[in-house]
Structure 1
């Protein structure tokens, strides 16, 4: 399925690109996934629950209570947000749209990565989020209208959601000054059918250009890291350890409070030994099963 989105899918699966890349498809290539008319119909029929919406204005996510009473938006509030220049993001489309559910399932099986797919609708001449970076690689599929993507090199190497995410660390004063006074390294202006591969960490500030609203899909891949592989193996070792009665034995209080060095020595040896005894073939199957487990 990745081949339907980018040209060199086999190469990408063998070696994940570390630089932004732009691909071209026919303008109507993604109409089977989602159209501007369908998004407008979802908005105006007011059948989207607030859990499936993020509202963005002035580079900030708007508090949902301003637009809703309970789970559903107040009548006309989402259209009013758009009319005032706000951006909407329709979240978790793989749970709402069958064609996107098929794409989601295929991409997750093909990559072994966690995948989520959102749509972003920005009125003509407006902007949603300003400069920020994501802790995962994204494929941007331009569906309608046009959007410019100014891109700067990463400030943080290999950010992940759990560490050095923009939403946790933000920008330093020096980084803000740099962004305010330095031209982007690249700017990609996407038209319908264009695809942008944006690796995690790259700082970007997209905005709609032209006289039409911009609609794009963001296909986000939560990449499996070496830390993730270590987590799976450690979890397996610890689950196996519970079967061992000696591992369920208590540690004497004095060993915890005064000198835990002997307990640490024993457990260090136990963990190393357990990892070394893991059957490589069984460990490989464990990783493959974990990668395909639904999020």
Structure 2
């Protein structure tokens, strides 16, 4: 986020639940920070402003200076003259958020993971309690859920796809047509690319990768570019993937 303020301007004392780097781009901004214990907020405001901010330290940032704030540290920035500050946040997934996202993806793949066999109870005797849920049905449901979740490789695939999924406000146009992948490639700045021991992930899609292709794709994810000589060492299938990604605007040729 880019924050512009005139002299004396600022949001007010607040805190974030993630790591924040405050990079001063223009002018000066005075920051007061502290490990706030009282998190009571001012009522009736559209933003979460601390009611009783107790700063412990103070810094004035000049252009090029950066201030790091751990999660939960309260901070209040006030412009010293006209200024502009870049706020760079590193969000981490919460456990409940990750469970919701991963379980939804598991549900989408349920038939492939556990099949579509129907529940059967041919041995169920006649009962005077027809509203009672049978223990066998509970066991059937438990077994289905455990089978769906007890697949580490598939869970790793879903996690990588989740972590590289572009945000809703990010979109890619068709490739610009310039350059060729054979001459080397660089990832578009909007592209997210990760990998694990078995997969490569890019913009919400996952691929199995082994051997030289895996090593080179990991190099692309880390360095965000590959030279012509590296591209030439890829298999034909991997180079075809690069071309598809170029056409989608995910990377650019040279």
Q: TM-score, normalised by structure 1?
A: 0.42
Q: Which has the higher helix share?
A: 1
Higher relative contact order (CA 8 A, sep 6+): 1
Q: Which has the higher strand share?
A: 2
